[in-house]
Amino acid sequence: MPFESSKSYYSIGEVSRITGVPAYLLRYWEGFFTELSPGRDTRGNRRYTNKDIAMVLTIKELVYEKGFKIGKATQMIRQGDGKHETDERTAEILRLQKKLDQQHKEHRISQRKRTDVLREIKGEVEEILQMLG
């Protein structure tokens, strides 16, 4: 059930930012939900796919939004009760990715502005130093 996205694999930090679930909790959930099993790269780092992200969002919904305990959520996912429409999950992932991309863009713009201001200040300080001495 692949989703349309610009990347095939995501690090645990990226998945944490996209889903709003802390990295330590993602690792913890792997022990309870066999359906959440990201692959590993050659260095042993987790590599999440869009399918894994959809599963994280499903688990998050069951546990946080619907209030099920981990055991019951595990049982529901194994029975298929926790499944959602692929289109709904895809739309949510794409929306979160777009939000994250926008935040990165805003960060780059603010970094450029800071750099420009610092260059101006540096130029003014150099002019003052020349005048003084």
Find where tokens 């959930």 sit.
29
Find where tokens 């919904």 sit.
61
Name, in order, each residue with C-beta under 8 angstroms of 17's C-beta and a sequence gap of 6 or more. 100
Q: Please return the burial class of 130, using the count of CB atoms within 10 Å of its CB with bins 0-12, 13-18 and 19+.
A: exposed
Cβ-contact 10, 18 below 8 angstroms = yes
Chain-centre distance for alpha carbon 87: 19
Query: Over the stretch 56-87, which tens digit does the pLDDT of each residue have?
Result: 998 998 888 888 888 888 888 887 754 444 55
Q: Residue 1's pLDDT is what?
A: 33
Q: Which H or E run includes 39?
A: strand 39-40
Q: Residue 48's pLDDT is what?
A: 92
Q: Amino acid identity, residue 97?
A: Q
pLDDT band per the 50, 70, 90 thresholds, residue 113: very high
Query: Over the stretch 10-25, which tens digit does the pLDDT of each residue have?
Result: 999 999 998 899 999 9
First to last CA, the chain: 70
Domains of the chain and any CATH numbers: 12-132 (1.10.1660.10)
Lowest mean pLDDT among 1-5, 19-23, 48-52, 110-114: 1-5
Mean pLDDT for the stretch of residues 123-127? 94
* Of 5, 41, 4, 10, nearest in space to 26 by CA: 10
Q: Residue 90's pLDDT is what?
A: 67
